[in-house]
Structure 1
Amino acid sequence: MPRGFNANEKEFIRDKLLSAARELFSSLGLKKTSIKDLTGKAGIAQGTFYNFFESKEVIYFLLLEQDEKEIKQNVINKLMSKEITPSNFANVIYTTVKQIENYPLIRRLYTTEEYELLVRKLPNELLKEHSENDILSLNPLLDQWKNKGEVDANLSNEVVTSALRALFLMTIHKREIGEDVYDQSLQFLAEGIALRLFKGGENT
């Protein structure tokens, strides 16, 4: 780290780079955004970038993690604040999938080639850590509900996570599904997952 930077300056420059990256990645994407673009937008020397981040892929990944943590925390907060019923669970999942549209980086990851570009350049330890903290994994909540007898204890957490991932992937196929029935189809499938998950859901 250059000697002239104190702790506050380092934090300021890092935040400037993150802000510049979020704006450029959202509008141009990962492939079309260069280190020069990022440092120019942030108002710093190009060589300074590598004192803060290993690559543009790493900064993209960190921004994705910020968004995913925010989404996951919102889901958990909503589920914890409501009475656990199939209807409430389905509505939370449905609105979360819809809100993906408000997160350009995550949306681009699902709808462009950027996922492949990203994973090719990221360090393996980052990918491993990310897989262990899956945005769609609700394991702590699922285990809590199972212990209380509120959900099917025999249902694998991994199966629930995979079903939720399939639901999120619907965003890629909105046109093929049919834009006029997409919302209703999304709600229908969210309700199906909820009814399978919760004991006696069909009668709730």
Structure 2
Amino acid sequence: MEDKKALIYDCAKELFSAKGFKDTNISEITKKAGMAVGTFYNYYPSKEKLFMDIFLEENAKLKQACFQSLDLDQNPLAVVGQMLKLNVEGTKANPILREWYNRSVFEKLEQVYREENGVDTVDFLYDSFLELITLWQKQGKMRKDIDSKMIMMIFAAIINVDTHKEEIGLEYFPELLLLMTELIMKSLMDCSEY
């Protein structure tokens, strides 16, 4: 059974990458996988759910690759800025991840994302960043008056602003995230009064 699910996943990923979310349908996915449409529903409740599973895996791979290529000897602002820059470049280069900014499909995707609590898929980065923040605090590079876990929640809030891009205006993303993060990081690095 897992082989069929993996085949559906792989075929869908190929089609979504080539044609996008909107122009790919379930019958094309199952035809490519060599199975009946009804079989699809044994493994996925909807095209949106399948796409979100693929999206979240691609997003996690990108975040992990970005983190692994960071120069952690830089100051916190440079490290976080580098992470965001690498993430933006990786998102633009990946046709699956680019769909997050496709005005005609993101509302459906965001709804599934919220329902699935997709931020959990990048939890593997939480421990790494938490250790880094704790180190920066010990080194005097980041404020110590704010608990390191609270700082992680600030970062989570930055990430979740992305799910409100329509309300804010798509034309401002991802530049808004870069500027907002820079301002927050400068505040977190201002250790002079703390």
Q: Tell me the CA shift for residue 60 of structure 1.
A: 0.7
Contact 1:119 1:127 in 2 (8 A): no
Indicate how the Cα distance of structure 1 residues 186 and 57 shifts in structure 2: closer, same or farther if over 3 A, else same. closer
Name which of 5, 12, 36 aligns with 1:45: 36
Instruction: List aligned pairs for 1:14-33, cutoff 5 A.
Output: 14-33=5-24
Matches of 2:59 and 2:131 in 1, distance apart?
A: 22
In 2, are the aligned partners of 1:94 and 1:190 still within 8 Å (CA)?
Answer: no
Alignment of 1:32-181 (within 5 A): 32-79=23-70, 82-85=72-75, 86-118=77-109, 122=112, 127-128=116-117, 130-131=118-119, 133=120, 135=122, 139-148=126-135, 149=137, 150-153=141-144, 154=146, 156-163=151-158, 172-173=170-171
Counterpart residue type for residue 94 of structure 1: K
Cα 1:23–1:172 change in 2 (3 A) is: farther
TM-score by length of 2: 0.68
Which stretches in structure 1 are left out of the alignment for 5+ residues?
2-9
2:153 counterpart letter in structure 1: E
RMSD: 3.8
Q: What is the Cα deviation at residue 56 of structure 1?
A: 1.6
Change (3 A) 1:162 1:146: same
Greater C-alpha Rg: 1
- Distance across 1 between alignment mates of 2:92 and 2:113: 28
Contact 2:64/2:125 (8 A) holds in 1: no
- Percent sequence identity is 21
- The TM-score with structure 1 as length reference comes to 0.66
In the alignment, structure 2 segments of 5+ residues that lack a partner are none
Q: Which moved more, 1:51-60 or 1:191-200?
A: 191-200
